Chain A
């Protein structure tokens, strides 16, 4: 590699095959089509963007206060304030200023926002109660199915009996819990992107079916004794 400045490692990285790090030519990138690496013959497509050629913007260290009339950074008494935090309004020097989406934040505001989700762009973790209810609904099936499959090699009647036996006791708890979860959390926000309600509905249906089997198996002997 020639004497490329250390700052500009992005263009150099673009000119290396992502598979074998062998060299690529700039006109291979210009073509923006499927190409073969001349070294390892791997099929490649590299979509490069102008940001790769943009020099890295260095953050400031904060200028020292020269005149008494200048306001100081909240955290650094000797440094000149350049901006105010959009969260708490404190004055910030270049070092303390964190820019995000055209706004200025101090580090404590950003940390608070990340923890409590007050800035939507910083919110990053979402709970999926629909999947949880699906998993709970399927739990007894997961216990019963392997037993059923293993025993069905021997005899079908034995397999059905043992499978039902495995199914019933956990279903007593799991089916109501799954039904409750899928109803109670059906309107819980799981992020601003489109999401289907199918998982919740499927969880409810599976739990309802398991519950129906449970009720049928319990009530059948009772029905028999009553009719006798």
Chain B
């Protein structure tokens, strides 16, 4: 039997649980365990123990240091998306807290609860920023390939790797990368095209040569919405609303085509995720705006019967409109700017890759002359 001291805790959790979040989890153990497995790592004397919990049962998987072939860590953009979402939620709840009591009867407790809710979102946002960027960590053995969900934060994964690497190397001896040379693809790596159907001319962008022009237009359209929302704050004009509907429709079409085009492209993950996220968000918002426009245009028609509820609806429509404008400004300014930054960075690397490929082609052609 292993003594308890034989296992050393490796940093990393599948979900952060400290402070308020831990309290929340204590209260909602039932609902949170239903959301999925939790995972933790322990370093034993000769193996790495991956402990997963689902409901009230823990399952242990042992990976012997002698069998581990590689551990790979790659960065993802989930953290920035989560930050975006949390920013949006906290901005919305704050806006609702400030706007709603002016238009509808609202108890003080409701306002306090909304304040607590937005404080929670702000706290979550701060926590997310504190935990840093996200990543995907995978462990490879000869027969197995396992994703370690608990190492989903870049910095934590690096710390865990720093603890695991010496243990594995102590078991297996030093790694000599020259043994990999025979397996390296021939020719310059940058020019190599791994897509089987692609011709040699598509070297810079594997898959297809789409460089994100449509995404550029989409993110510029997002910034246009921000400007339009700022104008909306000044007043409510029917002509402007009609124009907004057309603008939204065009943007939705562009977003749909962009999502379809990015599938086989070399666009970076964060730009792809932003595009999908903004498509979903704009569909929801579009529906919301349409519902609002319809409800406002129908209320005067129903005035003949004048049930008292319609006046209440009128009261709700105004804060809803303000909230929508608020969300539009926050959502589209952030997605637009983040997307443009991501695209510019992507194009810069693409240009660098092209330049290097050209240099290599030049070097290769030189002796022939």
- Contact residue among A25, A47, A141 (Cβ-Cβ distance under 8 Å from B71): A47
Determine chain B's interface SS by DSSP, over half rule. Answer: mixed
> What separation, in Å, do the CA atoms of A43 and B132 have in the docked complex?
14
Binds B, one of A26-34, A107-115, A162-170, A217-225: A26-34
> What separation, in Å, do the CA atoms of A203 and B157 have in the docked complex?
32
A156 at the interface (CB under 8 A from B): yes
**Shortest distance between the CB of A89 and any CB in chain B (Å):** 23
Interface size on B, residues (CB 8 A): 80
CB contact under 8 A between A14 and B178, given known A134-B29, A153-B110: no
Beta-carbon contacts under 8 Å, A1-25 to B: 1-2, 4, 8, 10-25
> What separation, in Å, do the CA atoms of A210 and B176 have in the docked complex?
61
A127 at the interface (CB under 8 A from B): yes
> What separation, in Å, do the CA atoms of A124 and B194 have in the docked complex?
40
Chain A residues with CB under 8 Å of B73's CB are 44-47
A145 at the interface (CB under 8 A from B): yes
Binds B, one of A64-72, A74-82, A186-194: A186-194
> What separation, in Å, do the CA atoms of A51 and B192 have in the docked complex?
27
Flag if A20 contacts B2 (CB, 8 Å).
no
**Shortest distance between the CB of B59 and any CB in chain A (Å):** 5
Chain A residues with CB under 8 Å of B206's CB are 20, 22, 39
Chain A residues with CB under 8 Å of B183's CB are 2, 4, 8, 11-12, 14-15, 26
Flag if A142 contacts B53 (CB, 8 Å).
no
For B350, the closest partner residue in chain A by CB is A41
Beta-carbon contacts under 8 Å, B109-159 to A: 109-110, 113, 136, 138, 140-142, 154, 157-158
CB contact under 8 A between A138 and B30, given known A25-B184, A52-B69, A194-B7: yes
Flag if A45 contacts B72 (CB, 8 Å).
yes
> What separation, in Å, do the CA atoms of A159 and B72 have in the docked complex?
52
> Residues of B with Cβ closer than 8 Å to A?
1-7, 9, 26-31, 33, 42, 49, 51, 53, 56-62, 66-75, 106-107, 109-110, 113, 136, 138, 140-142, 154, 157-158, 161, 165, 168-169, 172-186, 189-190, 192, 194, 206, 266, 268-269, 345-346, 349, 353
Chain A residues with CB under 8 Å of B106's CB are 153
CB contact under 8 A between A49 and B61, given known A4-B182, A11-B180, A192-B4: no
**Shortest distance between the CB of A73 and any CB in chain B (Å):** 25
> Residues of A with Cβ closer than 8 Å to B?
1-2, 4, 8, 10-27, 29-30, 36, 38-53, 56, 120-121, 123-129, 131-132, 134-135, 138-139, 141-142, 145, 149, 152-156, 159, 190-194, 202, 206
Flag if A10 contacts B179 (CB, 8 Å).
no
Flag if B70 contacts A41 (CB, 8 Å).
no
CB contact under 8 A between A191 and B27, given known A10-B69, A56-B142, A153-B106: no
For B172, the closest partner residue in chain A by CB is A50
> What separation, in Å, do the CA atoms of A11 and B51 have in the docked complex?
28
Flag if A48 contacts B75 (CB, 8 Å).
no
